[in-house]
């Protein structure tokens, strides 16, 4: 029926597991909100992979439509900031976790969670950026606020071939930074250098038991891994440097000491993309339009239909996804 649309739905099983299926929903099936959007595109982030596979308790309300990002066109609105026909983008705000997300033909959300699609980006490009790329930009902005300029020295990016890493490398290189890309996939070295990495190193160089302080190596860093990797980066950060922590692919623990902070004045900056205020989101997207080479964004992106999301989701957890994936949801 024309008034129904496809959606990926995660439901709890009786054995306390979960099942994921594609269903047909109607507008009345959606959760509360003051803006209805016809979703055209979404994407697959690490958190989406966790939700669909059940590898971590990302979903906190059942049943749930996953997808923490989406872009589309407003169909109806009771919010004065948006009107029918407006192109909009959503990243985070608990969508895909506690509120129905982007893997559906339509979404109904609070208008406060939306931003207008920035001039200079298509909906597909906004989802090629997605939470991963928007988080990368928030991390770059944080380093800039801490005075980590290109002239200060090399900046390391971990998880380099993933979504956050790929976008971070492209942005930093365009801004003139000497980017050191750390990856467990050295076969992707040409890809990473194509994005602008000046050096590609094996992640094992950051995997040993952390010492309180190591030889000063980096002026700053963007870390999507956490755990031992982040601890080693902190021990290698130069005096007055800063590291932006935005992920936990390697674990939530942080086996470090206070030494980098009190002996070298190193700053550890936490990056949260989910609840970031609207003004910071708009700043990040404005900078993405300016500082992310769209040819490099295209080179790191592949597109899949909604029907392939469930099959592809485990690959992002297994480190098999390079760069970004755009999901075509509807027209």
Q: Where residue 276 falls among pLDDT bands split at 50, 70, 90?
A: very high
Give yes or no for residue 239 having a pLDDT over 80.
yes
**102-155 tens-digit pLDDT:** 999 999 999 999 999 999 999 999 999 999 999 999 999 999 999 999 999 999
Q: How far apart are CA 297 and CA 157, in angstroms?
A: 17
Q: How far apart are CA 40 and CA 117, in angstroms?
A: 13
**Architecture of 131-270 per CATH?**
3-Layer(aba) Sandwich (3.40)
Residue among 171, 184, 103 nearest 141 (CA) = 171
Residue 212 φ then ψ, to 5°: -55, -45
**57-74 tens-digit pLDDT:** 999 999 999 999 999 999
Q: List the domain boundaries for the chain.
A: 4-117+300-328, 131-270
Look at the domain 4-117+300-328 and name its fold. Answer: Quinone Oxidoreductase; Chain A, domain 1 (3.90.180)
| This prediction's pTM | 0.96
Query: What average pLDDT score do residues 195-212 get?
Result: 97
Q: How far apart are CA 95 and CA 33, in angstroms?
A: 12
Report yes or no: 155 and 185 within 8 Å, Cβ to Cβ.
no
Q: Tell me the C-alpha to C-alpha distance, in Å, between residue 63 and each of 15, 21, 59, 290, 324.
A: 15, 11, 9, 39, 27
Give yes or no for residue 2 having a pLDDT over 60.
no
C-alpha torsion angle, residues 273, 275, 277, 282 (rounded to 10): 40
């Amino acid at each position: 029926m024309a008034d129904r649309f496809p959606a990926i739905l995660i439901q709890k099983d009786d054995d306390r597991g979960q099942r994921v299926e594609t269903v047909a929903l109607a507008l009345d099936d959606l959760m509360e909100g003051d803006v209805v959007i016809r979703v055209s595109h979404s994407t697959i982030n690490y958190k989406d992979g966790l939700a669909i596979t059940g590898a971590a308790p990302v979903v906190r309300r059942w049943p749930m439509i996953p997808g923490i990002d989406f872009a589309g066109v407003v169909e109806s609105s009771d919010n004065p900031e948006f009107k029918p026909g407006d192109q909009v983008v959503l990243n985070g705000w608990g969508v895909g976790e506690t509120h129905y997300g982007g893997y559906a033909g339509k979404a109904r959300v609070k208008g406060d969670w939306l931003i207008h699609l920035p001039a200079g980006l298509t909906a597909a490009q906004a989802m090629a950026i997605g939470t991963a790329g928007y988080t990368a930009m928030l991390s770059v902005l944080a380093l800039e606020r801490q005075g980590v300029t290109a002239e200060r020295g090399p900046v390391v990016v971990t998880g380099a071939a993933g979504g956050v890493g790929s976008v971070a490398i492209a942005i930093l290189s365009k801004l003139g930074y000497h980017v050191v890309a750390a990856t467990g996939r050295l076969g992707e070295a040409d890809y990473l250098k194509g994005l602008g990495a000046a050096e590609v190193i094996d992640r094992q160089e950051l995997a040993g038991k952390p010492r309180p302080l190591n030889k000063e190596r980096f002026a700053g860093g963007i870390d999507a891994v956490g755990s031992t990797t982040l601890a080693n980066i902190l021990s290698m950060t130069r005096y007055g440097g800063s590291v932006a922590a935005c992920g936990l692919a390697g674990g939530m623990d942080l086996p470090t000491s206070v030494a980098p902070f009190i002996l070298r004045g190193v700053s550890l900056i936490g990056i949260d993309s989910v609840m970031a205020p609207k003004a910071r989101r708009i700043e990040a997207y404005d900078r993405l339009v300016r500082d992310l080479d769209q040819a490099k964004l295209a080179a790191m992106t592949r597109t899949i239909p909604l029907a392939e999301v469930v099959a592809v989701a485990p690959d992002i957890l297994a480190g098999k996804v390079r760069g970004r994936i755009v999901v075509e949801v509807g027209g």
